[in-house]
A and B are shown apart, each in its own frame.
Chain A
């Protein structure tokens, strides 16, 4: 067929218009701007050269630049003039120190390279463990927004000026001198403050402590029941039954790291026994997700629930009962818990999180009935943390407002931000003549103080701690102060006229007490040296009780008062909780913690209102959020205070409640509290409001915490929730919440099945139907292979990991440790929202669903409808599982086979190696990864403006935290978990230099090192005695997505619940 059709470019051509003809003739119009004009505006040329000249010039320019770049760059290399003996460039040093910030306490080891602290790991000798907040604490050291010297009236001043002025004012003031602190557990700082009292008059100086996250009710309850305001040491490792009423003891209750270590030691199904954990709570907390049995209650019902539990226990143990209405309580579970408690008298533990004295008195009563004092609750060991006294603080604020206080010194506290009655405090501060803050940032409180004498970061400081009877710890500087800051105690000593440094002062204090600590004063230097080297001193605890006699009437009257309380009714209630990353707000300045996905919601960079999905539906809020799906914003009002925050549907939360995390909304009045605390714009820079102030991330809800007579209570009734009529984008790393009936990702079973049946029941092998010899037979998946095996099994090293899902609590310490070890970039909210998070290690969290395939077909639902329902987690009380997920280092890695440039290959040690300098960024590997663990550098995070405010690698100071053994990746390359290959290589070199085989446990990945529960075991699978091989051979061991046959080097252990 003849092809004689005519095609037109457009109607213009068809009609052959004038404009078209003209345009056709001038198809190649010369450049409107000539190259000459481009090069030099003054030079005129007759003929305007066109594109070609431009290209020539460009070509010449590029060549010239390249040739110029061939010049050897002159880099200066400056060795020490006088090298300290202990430092060898390239070899890390470890120093024992201690972290304490009022919320968390732990003995740590600080890794320094060339004199710079770069990594925090647990001090294993001390038996203490870390959490995400502690191992991220190295980053704020380098924050360039920290104060770089003292301020007087908001302006930089010299230390001499500030010192003389403050001394002058302190000695002249008529009013009281008050020292406001968080809980101080340090003997020497306390002694230093006492010296201040000596100098300026005992009657005038008073020290007042308060805790932002107050737990003072426990002290008060013990005062009532035992006559002494103490907090005993709780031992979760001795408790066969644990009942927690709203206590998030794995996150923020007393010393949460100690609780975690003890708790998990009894959560291993292979041990002698496994504890049984009941949790009654309002929100879905980290502790709640780990519970065996869980029920939800409204916070106002906690008291009645405790009474009901008290009655049940009393029934079984013969105690006295109190009448209480129980019809709206989860009575079945209460009864079950009571039965278990009574059956394990002396081996159980009841704890409550509520800061309400009456409730804590009832808790004491229950524990007393169960005989837990002396077993799970120590009678001779006392905890000194959380020693804030809310009533004294209240009195001080009143005195300040009355003008009775002449001077305040504020140390380790930020009352203008986190004191519930911050407004009263602020008005009091105005009436106080002299206000001195020791804050490291010019924060909410410091900016209101006349003088700011910035304290050193804890890694630049000397300090000592006495968190519990018999345990003393030391903190030592691991770097000279980066800025012109001075340790607060040095300032105090200076103002006392002492000519001692704080270090000398502290040694003197220790010399005085060294006898008590098992040293003696003659050999004190030796004792001191050893204490400093180890970081702590443990001494035997005297046998005498820290308690007085038990007063049963206190329990009875507390029970009466609870029973007589007016029920809160059906109205909405709110709970203000502590987030794993941000804590009391100190973490808000830390980009690693802002970017850390919350272990429960998986949301980063925000606080929000959590509500039960049913409530969310009822209000008509958006149930889901995602890249292009913002969350609805709600107005939440309590006691006349209103906030607006996005709403997140949280399965497992009590209906009719709202949860909001404290610790956000830092720097709301434009204070400088660190760049990570503020919202960023889409293309970089901070968002600002109409006054030009930076807009903080989230909203501060401390002002909504109600200050009751005895102290703050972190829940409220009479809450109203309204639709604010707008939406707000939130950024989460996981928006899919269930396993959709898959059995090969997470496997779980119950303790009974595990103990009584074989692995075929709880961990059945995957089989594949195979055609062989004309018949179809089922073969275990590991016997079926498309490829040849890598010759790694049994030869040389083969690195692998075993992860126990039973002991993983989801605490996320591994995520931040990985961040810090591997220079993982922080990408900020906008990128996370687009699904471009860079975490090498994530923790997947899955909820159970009500629907399954069998149920769907029984109910006659179609397959699609069934799957759709399986996507929906159970609303009211789903079971939860946390699964750490990183590169599985598959022996048949799907990523390796698709890389066009062999940038990802298999090593002879079983590692799936990623070679950045070879990668051309096709991202094919990421598409082919069944575990979705590969991360692509979409931008040059270390230089692009968009990330200036979030990525520490862009901060001139904070980039000092980067691990010099790990490449900082550039744009356009893929990256992923390397199994900390730099540590493997280091460990091997160490062994070679010693001439010994690599010892099992000598090489640990950052995540395994940081894991407070030892859920992650790393080692050499070719070492026949290694723990990791044991883990791989365990009956509970399985491989994630085993059926696809990629043969990972990472195995998981089936989660066992004690139900």
Chain B
């Protein structure tokens, strides 16, 4: 799978490169499909398509700027220059938005790219339909999961009634038998204590009992082992956090890139919890949530960073947010986000789950056990292409052609393990 995917990537890269060579500055190089990507890269931190955010909603831009198309390009590429030109529409825009958000930053996009973005904006449809279908699809899936607990309870109840009535029948029969015996003048055999009876029964059925006993012991051992292995593993740990930050809103719906906030993942071992000033990049302007609760949560950011929304000033009184840490690796294990995200090109979701859909604040998705680490190291192919470091390492591997190492190259891929990703000192020092 990894191999095929890689080939696909390679093919794509070669194609893209060929296109670039052939097309040069040809407008065909920017397709409408790129519009979404460009929108997310350049615009989405301040603009939404259907709603005002830091900047105005982009839906209908073309209509609003009708007759000023050239000015629109200039405006996006260099707003400061256009602001001085005194165009009436621009002036009205400035009057409305300058006090709220300040002047837009100049965007490094070409005319073709602007067209692509605007095409995307024009053709954009709100994803309402999708949500309903998902809900419908999900409903029966829940039913399929197994026997529901209500049914289970009813069955248990019936069985219990059955057991009790049988017990009653048995004791009545016994009483009857005793009464008959008494009337016939036979000596009543005294009731053996339950323990004695059980012993005799067990002894009589010792083969079955032993086999069953062994099963029980093995089962308990396995269950115990599993339980012990689970000590310190906090998969699914989702503590309450001081702010009910919603990943599905920010990363999911609004499509803010993970590394926009967790930017240190690109250069450090820590992905880091974003500092409040990063929140303020957007929330300086967005001071309303979708609900009152949301608005209240945004107020918490202001309290933390020391922002007075009334005067639009920083007060200097900072109260850093005390988040509850979710992912805790033991001190003797070294993990580096940059290595995995930048060099390994691993998607955040591989370890953190579909956080843009599933989680509100944060929860632990992966077990973070060593077994989980080395499983991944065993399977994951190292992204060597185009990295001078790996070119050098790879050439050393090939040039020397050692017998022991040939096996690494047999399957055409080199995994992290084959480059030493299973060695102790790669993570423990």
With A76-B322, A796-B419, A992-B339 as given contacts, are A81 and B272 in contact (CB-CB < 8 Å)? Answer: no
Q: How far is the CA of A82 from the CA of B301 in the complex (A)?
A: 11
With A81-B306, A82-B276 as given contacts, are A74 and B322 in contact (CB-CB < 8 Å)? Answer: no
Chain B residues bordering chain A, tally (CB within 8 A): 61
Contact B396 A996 (CB under 8 A): no
Taking the nearest CB of chain B, how far is it from the CB of A22, in angstroms?
40
Instruction: Report A971-989 CB contacts with B as 1/0, cut-off 8 Å.
Output: 0000000100110010011
Q: Is A917 among interface residues, defined by CB-CB distance under 8 A? A: yes
Contact B277 A83 (CB under 8 A): yes
Q: How far is the CA of A162 from the CA of B324 in the complex (A)?
A: 43
Q: Is B199 among interface residues, defined by CB-CB distance under 8 A? A: no
| Cβ < 8 Å to B, chain A residues 472-520 | none
Instruction: Report B389-404 CB contacts with A as 1/0, cut-off 8 Å.
Output: 1111100110110101
With A76-B323, A81-B277 as given contacts, are A995 and B270 in contact (CB-CB < 8 Å)? Answer: no
Contact B274 A79 (CB under 8 A): yes
Q: Is B197 among interface residues, defined by CB-CB distance under 8 A? A: no
Q: How far is the CA of A968 from the CA of B429 in the complex (A)?
A: 9
Closest to B386 in A: A995
Q: Is A692 among interface residues, defined by CB-CB distance under 8 A? A: no
Q: Is B343 among interface residues, defined by CB-CB distance under 8 A? A: yes
Contact B322 A988 (CB under 8 A): no
Taking the nearest CB of chain A, how far is it from the CB of B228, in angstroms?
9
Q: How far is the CA of A83 from the CA of B320 in the complex (A)?
A: 11
| Cβ < 8 Å to B, chain A residues 982-1006 | 982, 985, 988-989, 991-998
Task: Name the one of B237, B277, B419 contacting A82, with C-beta atoms under 8 angstroms.
Answer: B277
Binding-face segment, A334-342, A715-723, A904-912: A904-912
With A76-B322, A77-B324, A794-B396 as given contacts, are A915 and B268 in contact (CB-CB < 8 Å)? Answer: no
Q: Is B420 among interface residues, defined by CB-CB distance under 8 A? A: yes
Taking the nearest CB of chain A, how far is it from the CB of B301, in angstroms?
10
With A72-B237, A78-B322, A81-B276 as given contacts, are A981 and B388 in contact (CB-CB < 8 Å)? Answer: no
Q: Is B147 among interface residues, defined by CB-CB distance under 8 A? A: no
**Chain A CB within 10 A, most for which of B270, B332, B400, B404:** B332
Q: Is B423 among interface residues, defined by CB-CB distance under 8 A? A: yes
Q: Is A432 among interface residues, defined by CB-CB distance under 8 A? A: no
Q: Is A653 among interface residues, defined by CB-CB distance under 8 A? A: no
With A78-B323, A794-B400, A995-B389 as given contacts, are A907 and B332 in contact (CB-CB < 8 Å)? Answer: no
Contact B420 A909 (CB under 8 A): yes
Task: Name the one of A794, A905, A909, A996 contacting B399, with C-beta atoms under 8 angstroms.
Answer: A794
Taking the nearest CB of chain B, how far is it from the CB of A69, in angstroms?
8
Q: Is B387 among interface residues, defined by CB-CB distance under 8 A? A: yes
Instruction: Report B304-329 CB contacts with A as 1/0, cut-off 8 Å.
Output: 11100000000000111111110010
Contact A81 B320 (CB under 8 A): yes
Q: Is A967 among interface residues, defined by CB-CB distance under 8 A? A: yes
| Cβ < 8 Å to A, chain B residues 227-262 | 231-232, 234, 237, 239
Closest to B318 in A: A81
Q: How far is the CA of A908 from the CA of B426 in the complex (A)?
A: 10
Q: How far is the CA of A793 from the CA of B343 in the complex (A)?
A: 25
Taking the nearest CB of chain B, how far is it from the CB of A761, in angstroms?
34
Contact B428 A79 (CB under 8 A): no
Q: How far is the CA of A81 from the CA of B320 in the complex (A)?
A: 5
Taking the nearest CB of chain B, how far is it from the CB of A1021, in angstroms?
12
Contact B273 A77 (CB under 8 A): yes
Contact B324 A75 (CB under 8 A): yes
Contact B274 A911 (CB under 8 A): no
Contact A79 B389 (CB under 8 A): no
Q: Is B192 among interface residues, defined by CB-CB distance under 8 A? A: no
Q: Is B338 among interface residues, defined by CB-CB distance under 8 A? A: yes
| Cβ < 8 Å to A, chain B residues 404-429 | 404-405, 419-420, 423-426, 428-429
Taking the nearest CB of chain A, how far is it from the CB of B250, in angstroms?
16
Residues of B contacting A785 with CB < 8 Å?
A: none
With A76-B324, A77-B273, A907-B425 as given contacts, are A795 and B239 in contact (CB-CB < 8 Å)? Answer: no
Residues of A contacting B268 with CB < 8 Å?
A: 88-91
Q: Is B336 among interface residues, defined by CB-CB distance under 8 A? A: yes
Closest to B336 in A: A989
Residues of A contacting B270 with CB < 8 Å?
A: 89-90
Taking the nearest CB of chain B, how far is it from the CB of A900, in angstroms?
16
Taking the nearest CB of chain B, how far is it from the CB of A795, in angstroms?
5
**Chain B CB within 10 A, most for which of A795, A913, A1022:** A795
Task: Name the one of A76, A82, A982, A996 contacting B389, with C-beta atoms under 8 angstroms.
Answer: A996
Taking the nearest CB of chain B, how far is it from the CB of A84, in angstroms?
9
Contact B324 A991 (CB under 8 A): no
Q: How far is the CA of A1022 from the CA of B264 in the complex (A)?
A: 32
Residues of B contacting A905 with CB < 8 Å?
A: 423-424
Taking the nearest CB of chain A, how far is it from the CB of B364, in angstroms?
9
Residues of B contacting A916 with CB < 8 Å?
A: 332, 428
Closest to A82 in B: B277
Contact A911 B425 (CB under 8 A): yes
Q: Is A965 among interface residues, defined by CB-CB distance under 8 A? A: yes
| Cβ < 8 Å to B, chain A residues 396-440 | none
Q: Is A73 among interface residues, defined by CB-CB distance under 8 A? A: yes
Taking the nearest CB of chain A, how far is it from the CB of B360, in angstroms?
17
Closest to A91 in B: B268
Contact A965 B334 (CB under 8 A): yes
Q: How far is the CA of A995 from the CA of B328 in the complex (A)?
A: 30
Contact A79 B273 (CB under 8 A): yes
With A794-B396, A908-B420 as given contacts, are A79 and B339 in contact (CB-CB < 8 Å)? Answer: no
| Cβ < 8 Å to B, chain A residues 917-936 | 917-918
Instruction: Report A766-799 CB contacts with B as 1/0, cut-off 8 Å.
Output: 0000000000000000000000000101111100
Interface extent on A, as a size class? 35 or more
Closest to A905 in B: B424
Residues of A contacting B323 with CB < 8 Å?
A: 76-79
Q: How far is the CA of A66 from the CA of B230 in the complex (A)?
A: 12
Taking the nearest CB of chain A, how far is it from the CB of B382, in angstroms?
10
Q: Is A70 among interface residues, defined by CB-CB distance under 8 A? A: yes
Q: How far is the CA of A75 from the CA of B387 in the complex (A)?
A: 38
Q: How far is the CA of A797 from the CA of B306 in the complex (A)?
A: 50
Residues of A contacting B336 with CB < 8 Å?
A: 985, 989
Contact B389 A917 (CB under 8 A): no
**Chain B CB within 10 A, most for which of A72, A76, A82, A982:** A82
Contact B305 A81 (CB under 8 A): yes
With A967-B428, A993-B343 as given contacts, are A91 and B423 in contact (CB-CB < 8 Å)? Answer: no
Q: Is A966 among interface residues, defined by CB-CB distance under 8 A? A: yes
Closest to B342 in A: A993
Q: Is B267 among interface residues, defined by CB-CB distance under 8 A? A: yes
Q: Is B174 among interface residues, defined by CB-CB distance under 8 A? A: no
Q: How far is the CA of A1 from the CA of B234 in the complex (A)?
A: 68
Residues of A contacting B278 with CB < 8 Å?
A: 83
Residues of A contacting B330 with CB < 8 Å?
A: 917
Contact A82 B275 (CB under 8 A): yes
Q: Is B84 among interface residues, defined by CB-CB distance under 8 A? A: no
Task: Name the one of B304, B325, B334 contacting A76, with C-beta atoms under 8 angstroms.
Answer: B325
Q: Is A80 among interface residues, defined by CB-CB distance under 8 A? A: yes
Q: How far is the CA of A83 from the CA of B424 in the complex (A)?
A: 35
Taking the nearest CB of chain A, how far is it from the CB of B204, in angstroms?
34
Contact B405 A795 (CB under 8 A): yes
Q: Is B269 among interface residues, defined by CB-CB distance under 8 A? A: yes
Taking the nearest CB of chain A, how far is it from the CB of B68, in angstroms?
37
Give B contacts to A, CB under 8 Å: 231-232, 234, 237, 239, 264, 267-270, 272-278, 304-306, 318-325, 328, 330-332, 334, 336, 338-339, 342-343, 386-393, 396-397, 399-400, 402, 404-405, 419-420, 423-426, 428-429
Known: A75-B328, A81-B276, A795-B402. 6 other contacts (CB 8 A): A78-B323, A81-B275, A83-B275, A913-B425, A992-B387, A995-B388
20 CB < 8 A contacts A-B: A74-B324, A76-B324, A77-B273, A80-B275, A80-B277, A81-B304, A89-B268, A90-B272, A791-B404, A908-B423, A911-B425, A913-B424, A913-B429, A917-B428, A918-B424, A967-B332, A989-B338, A992-B389, A993-B342, A997-B392
Closest 7 CB pairs of A and B: A90-B268, A913-B425, A83-B275, A81-B318, A997-B392, A915-B424, A77-B325
